[in-house]
Structure 1
Amino acid sequence: MCAAKSLQEYKGIPAEPPSGCYYALQLWLYGKLVILENFLHVHLWKIFSLLVFLALLCFGLKMATTQVDFYKLWVDQHSALAAELEFPAQALRNAEFQRLDPMFGRAGKFHQQTQQSSSPLGGPPGSEFLNSVEAVIQTVDYQDGEPGLLNPKALLDHIDLLIKIHRLEVTVHKSKWKLEDLCRRAELPALNGMSHIQSYMEDIIPCLVVTPADCFYEGSNALAPGKVIHVPWFNNQFMLQWPNLSPLALLRELQSKYENQSRPEVEALVDLLLRAGVDQGYLNRPCLDPTDLSCPKQAPNHQDSPPDVARILSAGCPGFAANILHWPRDIIVGGRRCSSPRHAASENLTVPCSSRHPEESGRLMTASTLQSLILLRSPMDLYRTVYQNDPYKLDVWTLADAQNVLDQWREGLKQLLIVHNQAIAPALPWRYSTLTDNSVRELFSQNTYQIPVVKILGAVFLMLLYSLLCLLGWREPSRSQCWLALFGLVLSVLALLAGLGVCAIFGLHFNVLTVQVLPFLALGLGMEGLFTFTTCHTCMLARGIAVARKSGQPNVTASSSSAAATPRVLTEHGTGLIFGALAMSAAFFSAVVIPVPLVKQFSLQAGILVLIQSATVMLIFPVLLKLDVMRRAKQRMDVLCCLRQSVAPLNLHSLYPVVDACAPTPAASDHPADPSAKPVDERRDTFSPAAAAAAAAA
């Protein structure tokens, strides 16, 4: 009855309230919060043992596992999409298993290896069968009136870089690998009666590189730099090299020299080359430097002026087989600017070229990007090639080794571009970059493994600075609460680490959102409860001071006010904190239904962190507020609590000014008397949820 009466007086409800579940639950919850807060105040120093428990939970971070696989982060392994992707991958594996020669005794081991997971190398199912494309991008900052990259000097430097890429060599497992070992090549059809020269023709076919250099004669230097093929033909031996190779002229010479000998084979080969467009090689293409002695006589601008690079590249570039391979302009040239059809008289005025309606664009004038695409083999293709052609590596060669070779070569390509950029930096305005097949995977790995320590420390510093500005009382050091801001922030960080440790113990993988987003979100949400309790604590002290003023004690000391009663902040705002934390964690947990593993892991981790931080604030921060009341009672300074403030007995209204948000109802003496007014029951001014809960506990 006493508890019900106290709650009635606090809420201002009628003397006979409705007997409902809501009222009973509210009364029961207030009573439990009073019991909990009394326990915290009695066992003041024992509560700090919870800090040891939180520190022990932090050791769970040793069990943390990271997930950087892009496919596993976005596709649920038990979803229908994963099953659909797995079906063609498994069909490819079975076909590859049947192609392997069982005489080597490795087919069974390979089949067992590919059945262990969706992909032996990670990534989507069947990724071991996917070829990769490595982009080498040359860029320059475009300015009006400048030629950009459509000039012979820029293209010659681009070709020089491609030559260096062809000569790039990496060592893996004591074996040296170059681009010609890893690149994709065009395949020749089987020729009847030509098996004796089939291998030579396959050897001379260059790597597939989509590049603007193929428009010019100098592009032949980047096909197979320094490579010479010696082809025996009867009693003679011919030397084949792309810069001076004219396949059709060579075959005509053989046909006229040996007449009827091997005539059908030569005619078949000539017909094949004519249909593919490999007739004169690169000898009939324009030279970037026509004054160079190596420029062939068949070149259109031999010993003449430099070519119009923009006009030539506007139609795209043919590959080494002109009738089969042709590189569109949109792939090899970027940042294009064309002449404006509306201002044909002004040659310097350019507008971006239209890709959808090229007929509406004017003449190509300049470009800020040139791109070359290097086509690499798939890991399975490289594995199978070495598996079948090098029997000495059978005992140590695996599919993972093939992937490792490709990754090491890509890393070497990145380092080569860095060195080349440093070499040309003083003299040339353009720079090179690469977009490899591993760019997305490396981006996820870097953002997952590299913890943003500087950003987190910066966020903590800004939160600390904001807290200090809000709680600083520079006029009265004993009234200041900066130490609460400092210890509250430390408590929030400790709860964050403990929550991540719990997530690691439960087996939740850490991903890019866990590292880059979750710490900042958790710190912001964790500080909300600290500010709520601190504000409530100040308001309740101010309310008590106002009551003391009404009772005719204007000069009460801080010690007497503090000793009289300690503000019960947990009873006052514990209900809101509990239900707020439950609602927020439930909102995060509800995101588990989203069929994206990345979102599932993040939502579960965020919900766990909200619960742990809220529980930490509820159990430990009221103890800190109790210690703050004791510090104020002894007139000790804020952070330097060893020092005492040398001040005479104070007017508590100056220490705890009553703000509008927490001011009680004004006393009757503050206003003119109204004869018709009813007497005010001051118990409504003095009763609080803490008083009601205390009565309920009694």
Structure 2
Amino acid sequence: MLTLIEAPTGKNTDNETVPDNSRPGQRLLDYSQGNITNEFDDDQEVGNNRLTRYIKSWRRFFVGKSNSSDYSQEWKREFMVHPTMSDADMTLQQIYLDNAQGSIPTLAIRSVIQNNVYMLASYVQKKPWLVLTCVMSLFLICTVGLQHVRFEDDIVKLWVPKGGHLNAEINFYSNLKKEFESQKDVWSHYNEKHFIRPFIDEKLKNYSDDDDIGGSYQVLIQTGEEEEENLLTKEKLLEHVELIKEIKDITINLYGLNWTLDDICFKPGDLSIKSESMAKDYQPVIESLIPCIWITPIDCFFEGSKPMGPTPPINLSNITLLGYITELPEENTLKWTNINPKQVVDDLSKVTNLGTMKEFFDRSEIGMGYLDRPCIDPLDPECPSTSPNYYNALPAFKIFDESLKKRNISIDSVLTKFVDTFDSFNFFFITINRKQSTDDKYYNSYRVSFMEFLRSNKEEAERLFKLTSYPLYPNYGKVVKNGCKGFARGVMNWSRNMIFGGVNITNDGEMTAEAMQTIILVSSPKEIYTAFANNQTSRHQKLINGGIIDQWNVDMAKEILKVWQRNFTQSIYNHKLNFYSEPDYPDTKIEKRRLHPLASTSIGDMLSEFCQFNYTVILFGYGFMILYAMYSQGKIRNYKLSHDSSVSLAFFGVLSVTLSSIAGLGISTWLGIEFNAATTQIVPFLTLGIGVDNMFLLLHNYHTVTKSVKKNEVGVLLKETGMSILMTSTNNILSFLAGTVLPIPALRSFCFQSCILLTFNLIGIFTIFLAMISIDLRRLKDGRRDIFCCSYEVHSSDDEDDRNYNENGTKISIRNESIIERALSRSNTVSINNNNAYQSLNFIKGNDSEDEKSCNQLPAKGIIHRLLRKYYIPFLRYKIVKILILVLGLGLGIIGYIGTFNIKQGLELSDVLPEHTAPAAFLRARDRYFSFYPMSIVIRGENVDFAGKQKLIENLRSDIGRLSYVVKNGDSQPSEPFWMDLFKNWLTRLQEKIDKASSDGLLIDFDERILNGSIEVKYPDLQVAYSLLCSYGDKEDCSRVGKVKLIQNGIVNEEGFYNYLYGWHEYESMLYTVSQARFYPPLYKLKEGTGNMTYRYFIPPIPKPKYSEIPFYMTGLSDTETIVHMIKEVRAICSRYTELGIDNFPSGIAFVFWDQYLNLNITILKAIGIITFAVFIVITILLFNVWAAACICFTLMIMTLELAGFLGYSGIKLNPVSAVSLITAVGIGVEFTVHVMYSYLTALGTRQERMEMAIDRVFVPVIHGAISTLLGILMLGFSEFEFVVKYFFIIMSALIIIGLINGLIFMPVLLSIFGPNTEIKVKGNKKRLLPPPPLSRDIDLPNRRIKTRSTVTFPTTHENVME
């Protein structure tokens, strides 16, 4: 029979003094005390001997380092239900004492980890200021690297994978160039004999310009004022003409000179005029007539000539050669609006040697230029008489003149007379064909003014039109239906899809368009520099006049190009057509964008601007996090922060995470990782949200540990919490590391930086934050209030109240803690038999019943915890609820899997740029209206026999050209000219001349005829053709003439193929430029003959082109699926021809930015598989439980499927950016699962009881972690980048919700049914494991001093004594 006796003296029967802090008056005696004492003493000796043997063996590395005497009853109570979580070492001691059974390897690994983190934290607690100073100093040193930070804003370098076929293809040209540059200084005797040695510019020796191939560009898209408005009207077309004129006139002042588009634009080749030609003196004038190349819809009309210049117009009075021209413009200036190029060349070729220029004009079909094209407005005074809709206003003028005379009104009072100043220079010219009648002269003198009068006076114009005839306005849709042609019609064909967007063909065949696009090509910086540095060009004089000829370099050219392009985008962006005013508020400008400019610098400028850290947003984000952390950790008593509040710790915890992140960014810079928009816009917030989770986990257990542990509180705190932190942090780091599997450089940098920052966060938590906790612990022990450390809190019984609850949550009626503490504190050397101990425990508190609530060891604190115990945990006990949750969880996984079939691939380029910027608006307009992309097939010609495989190369182009995506001409051929076709056409014409000369007998003694100046053979083309026939390889043999042909049946003579190709390049340089063949290595100018034999000389073979291009334009590429399909088809053709001996690959923006989609799904699955396997291995190693790791991975797979399904249902496209979120979701999802699993695995009891204890223990910190992560990424929702909002904020927010559902609802139910077994089993199938007996001082433990205390003579009891 048990009897409770209160000793009147307040002392124990064994005469041992009661500690001062014991509560007096309570005694606990056993009626069979003597027998139990003898049994305990025997067990003590056996236990000590056994532990001594184990601890002195090799097992000392993981057992014997923890002593139960160091802990209070509060902690021991926690140990009883979570022994392996609380202390694996002490659990092993019980196993070795045969009081429990379990996996020794599992607990040994756990013990090693716990003991190491315990020693780390204990050291931090002893020397917090030292640790704080050292670690913060190291972190500050790391931050020094930020001064060397480099932002990458080149979108190609950000997006193109390093390594692999795409990188090799992109770098192929630059690698060839480096190889050539290293050898170009070697000038052989062969070169000296056949080539003009190029001028070696010292300023270009060390310059590498990767833009040499493609130059650069400006693009302008014009849309309507209203949706679906047709722009093919007179007003909108004339608007576009004025826009191009304004662009042409944009002027910047740099280095003391004015620079315009004419100075930087791309022009078709150099003009070569023989020095002996009369035209040589006028080369600068003729050069100024060569226009910039642009692709524009106004080229269909005469008005397309207006922006072409030249600016200023050429003054005819300064050119005496024009006396030989039979047709001259009325005014005294020469420009593209009044010049007839064909007539000028034909007339001049009769009196001077123009070399091959005339043939070039004929072959390129420049013809009459723009004079024979329809006028947008036939009432335009400049509309030429040769235009198909020219309006002859002479009849109307006569009627108008007569009406004025009848009213006695002078015509000069209404119209302005034009004075032809050119007449005063007639005596300079030999013949001038400008015959006009008197009436014509009178009319022409008033024509310009009269046409303007008609345009501005609608009523009078209507009257005159009725009496004569109406002007003929063209059907604009029909004119542009088949595209437009540039000034050289034979080679400059602009497809309809290139210049018109939103095209609709009506039933009657007419066309409407909702957008127009003009593309202006500009030269590369190196080309601009060379053009002005060449003293043979008129541009060189500009540098001399400006006094900067000596300073002139490529960097100056690059700066001029960039500044002009930025002025271009700014002037169009702020153009008046982009704004409108309300009638009531004319001074208020409302933005409505119709004009969308883009320069090649625009995207880089935007990325560079928004790659900078937005400190305002960062401060707001971190401020919200600090406020939430402080609020969640605050405890208020009597309207003041209590001593057990952790507001200051929360504040400094966020700061420690911040410092860790900054240090991580610094070390990233030291490691050479470049920053980009993802770094500045995402990394700080994402790592903050993930990093503070560990802080909340530590703070959640902080006060519990301090109330239940006697010493080394911080060590115990990390011992209990460290495993969870290690598991979550390690998996987070590994998940981002797995993200580096994606080959995109920008995303790899993002993932690497996230890995580094999360690693630094882990280090910061284990050092800086623990040091802060150690410092705060001193305040806590002194009873000082949080933050207000000078204020002491009045003693409260709250702490005691927390301890005075039994396991059912019922407050006990007696103060029994002192009794238990006295009893256990005096049992330091007692070895307790487990059965007897449980008998004693059951004797005190009754039998361990099955319906005991195992989860409420402490009273619930906070609303969430109370609701959890009162409603949620009981709710999970119902079987029907479990079945429904399992079905719902698996159902969501299945729904997610089905949703993956709705996922579409793609990433709009406009998403990559900040919202509300000109480039983003341009790309949206482009995506909507213009779905075409330029591309080319690059032939790696080092091992290609061009001569022997001419047909194969042509078939390659034909097969690509047959694809439905290729823009075609009316003859179903690709729109872009092909160098092989132009080359063969040239040879065909030369062969015709040879054949005619042969039939005329002119090839006999051909060279003698030339030397004698025979007029029959003076033609340059004929002489060049003869020279080509004589040349083959490195040999010259004119006996072949008449025996071989240059070209026959469409096949170029193979022996002389490379010689002929050099000739074509020499004499058709403009067509070569237009063909975009871009042979490399570059070709030198040939040394021609002398005197009459200028064109009769040996033409050497061209070095085999190691690089050449076949250009195409692709259209209909409106979405990623279509683009990927196109890439697959093109690459399949390229691969087939590579196998046939034509080594080639496709090049172009579509292949650069969409190539990764070919293997994106496989890459994602590979990365998810890697991170899942990594999670499985990490969990298996740390928990040493395969089934637990499998359960976690199964839940993570369900989460990943649900998240992928969310992408499909929400319309978020799959791309490398969203792939990062999917991949990292596996690692981040561990946050929501591993805490539950770890608490479940380390608990004792049935699966249901362990599940309830796990939920009770981790629910609140998991919720805090989820909220903190959400707060961390909250500011991503305010990013200027659409891809940040869509692909990170939305996806991560969905991940948090999905993680909470699976981690706190689905997984607990899964564990309650299929969960792994508990890590240990208590002897006798008990549900509690008592702490082991205190270790004896006879056990020699390294670096540990064991204090022995007196032996008690009654059984050890548990704190929760029931009266």
> Normalised by the shorter chain, which TM-score bucket?
0.7 to 0.9
Map 1:68-467 → 2, pairs under 5 A: 68-69=153-154, 74=160, 76=162, 84-90=172-178, 93=181, 106-107=200-201, 110-111=204-205, 113-114=206-207, 120-121=208-209, 126-140=210-224, 142-143=226-227, 147-187=229-269, 195-197=277-279, 199=283, 200-224=285-309, 226-229=311-314, 230=316, 231-233=319-321, 239-248=333-342, 262=350, 273=361, 275-301=363-389, 302=391, 304=471, 306-339=473-506, 363-367=510-514, 369-389=515-535, 390=540, 395-421=550-576, 425-426=580-581, 431-448=594-611, 450-467=612-629
1:37 maps to 121
The residue matched to 1:243 in structure 2 has which SS? coil
CA positional deviation for 1:512: 3.9
Letter in 2 for 1:522: T
Q: Partner amino acid for 2:533?
A: Y
Please report how far the alpha carbon of residue 460 of structure 1 lies from its aligned counterpart in structure 2 after TM superposition. Answer: 1.4
AA aligned opposite 1:87: N
Letter in 2 for 1:514: T
Change (3 A) 1:152 1:604: same
1: CA distance, partners of 2:1327 / 2:359: 111
What letter matches 2:307 in structure 1? A
Name 1:26's counterpart in structure 2. 110
**Higher Cα Rg, which structure:** 2
- 1:611 is displaced (CA, Å) by 2.5
Take 2:489 and 2:497, find their aligned partners in 1: how far apart are those partners? Answer: 18
Match of residue 352 from structure 1: none
Aligned partner of 1:534 among 695, 699, 714: 699
Q: Tell me, in whole angstroms, the C-alpha distance in 2 between the residues paired with 1:673 and 1:602.
A: 54
| 3-state SS of paired residue (2:798) | coil
Q: Would you say the 8 A contact 2:121–2:714 is kept in 1?
A: no
Q: Deviation string for 1:364-416 (max 9, x for gaps)?
A: 3331x211111112233222222222385663222333222222221221232
In structure 1, the residue matched to 2:757 is 609
* Mapped partners of 2:366, 2:136: distance in 1: 77
Return closer, same or farther for 1:163/1:331 CA change in 2, 3 Å cut-off.
Answer: same
Q: Could you tell me how far 1:443 is from its partner in structure 2? A: 3.8
How far apart in 2 are the matches of 1:9 and 1:164? 85
5+ residue gaps, structure 1, are: 115-119, 256-260, 345-361, 545-560, 689-694
Query: What is aligned with 2:31?
Result: none
The DSSP-based 3-state class of the residue aligned with 2:120 is: helix
Q: CA deviation at 1:211?
A: 0.9
**Could you tell me how far 1:243 is from its partner in structure 2?**
1.6
Q: Deviations over 1:19-66 (max 9, x none)?
A: 966544433443333333333333344443243443344333234344
Cα 1:9–1:408 change in 2 (3 A) is: closer
Counterpart amino acid of 1:437? S
Check whether the contact 2:125–2:774 (CA below 8 A) recurs between aligned residues.
Answer: yes
Residues in 2 aligned to 1:325 and 1:103: alpha-carbon distance in whole angstroms: 30
Is the 1:421–1:431 Cα contact (8 Å) retained in structure 2? no
C-alpha deviation, 1:224, in angstroms: 0.9
Q: TM-score, normalised by structure 2?
A: 0.41
Question: Retained in 2: the 8 A contact 1:287–1:295?
Answer: yes
Task: Find the counterpart in structure 2 of residue 354 from structure 1.
Answer: none
Pairwise CA distance, 1:282? 2.5
Change (3 A) 1:599 1:402: same
The 8 Å contact of residues 525 and 561 in structure 2, kept in 1 or not, is answered as yes
The 3 A distance-change label for structure 1 pair 463 and 245 is same
Q: Does residue 823 of structure 2 align to residue 649 of structure 1?
A: no
Please point out which of 624, 637, 652 is paired with 1:487: 652
Any idea what SS the aligned residue of 2:241 has? helix
Aligned partner of 2:493: which letter? Answer: H
Task: Tell me, yes or no, if the aligned pair for 1:9 and 1:684 is still in contact at 8 Å.
Answer: no
Hey, what's the Cα distance between the residues in 2 that align with 1:673 and 1:564? 32
**1:179 CA drift (Å):** 1.4
What is the alpha-carbon distance in structure 1 between the residues aligned to residue 712 and residue 513 of structure 2? 84
What displacement does 1:497 show? 1.4
Q: Which amino acid letter does the alignment assign opposite residue 208 of structure 1? A: I
Q: Percent identity?
A: 23
After superposition, the Cα gap between the structure-2 partners of 1:373 and 1:532, relative to the gap in structure 1 and judged at 3 Å, is: same
Q: Secondary structure at the match of 1:374?
A: strand
The answer to whether the 8 Å contact 1:170/1:178 transfers is yes
Higher relative contact order (CA 8 A, sep 6+): 1
SS at match of 1:133: strand
Separation of aligned partners in 2, 1:103 and 1:395: 20
Aligned-partner residue type, residue 620 of structure 2: G
Superposed displacement of residue 674, structure 1: 6.7
1: CA distance between counterparts of 2:732 and 2:219?
A: 45
CA-to-partner distance for each residue in 1:423-473, whole Å, 9 max, x for gaps? Answer: 86449965323222223433442343x212233223213323442443244
TM-score, normalization by structure 1: 0.75
Contact persistence 1:314–1:329 (CA under 8 A): yes
Instruction: Determine helix, strand or coil for the equivalent of 1:371.
Output: strand
SS, match of residue 372 in structure 2: coil
Residue number in structure 1 paired with 2:957: none
Given that 1:581 and 1:614 are in contact with CA atoms closer than 8 Å, whether structure 2 keeps it comes out as yes
What amino acid maps onto 1:318 in structure 2? K
**488, 503, 517: which one aligns with 2:682:** 517
Q: What amino acid is the match of 2:625?
A: M
Provide, for residues 515-547 of structure 1, a one-character-per-residue CA deviation record: whole Å limited to 9, x for no partner. 3332223212321210111122255468x4xxx
Per-residue CA deviation, residues 266-310 of structure 1 (Å, 9 max, x unaligned), is 999777655544333323333333333333344444352543333
Q: 8 Å contact 1:129–1:381 — kept in the other structure? A: no
Q: Following the alignment from structure 2 to structure 1, what is the Cα–Cα distance between the partners of residues 217 and 91?
A: 73
Greater Cα shift, 665-674 or 236-245: 665-674
Shift of residue 328 of structure 1? 1.1
- Alignment partners' CA distance in 1, 2:358 and 2:218: 33
Q: Contact between 1:136 and 1:435, CA under 8 Å: does it hold in 2?
A: yes
> Distance between the aligned counterparts of 1:527 and 1:656, measured in 2?
33
Partner SS state of residue 691, structure 2: helix
How much has 1:250 moved relative to structure 2? 5.9
Structure 1 position 15, deviation (Å): 3.1
What is the Cα deviation at residue 141 of structure 1?
5.9
Change (3 A) 1:528 1:224: same
1:497 aligns with 2:662: yes
Query: Aligned equivalents of 2:807 and 2:373: distance in 1?
Result: 86
**Alpha carbons 1:8, 1:14 under 8 Å: kept:** no
Rounded Cα–Cα distance in structure 2 between residues aligned with 1:513 and 1:538: 38
Question: Are 1:163 and 1:225, in contact at CA under 8 Å, matched by a contact in 2?
Answer: no
Q: Quick one: distance in 2 between partners of 1:190 and 1:483?
A: 80
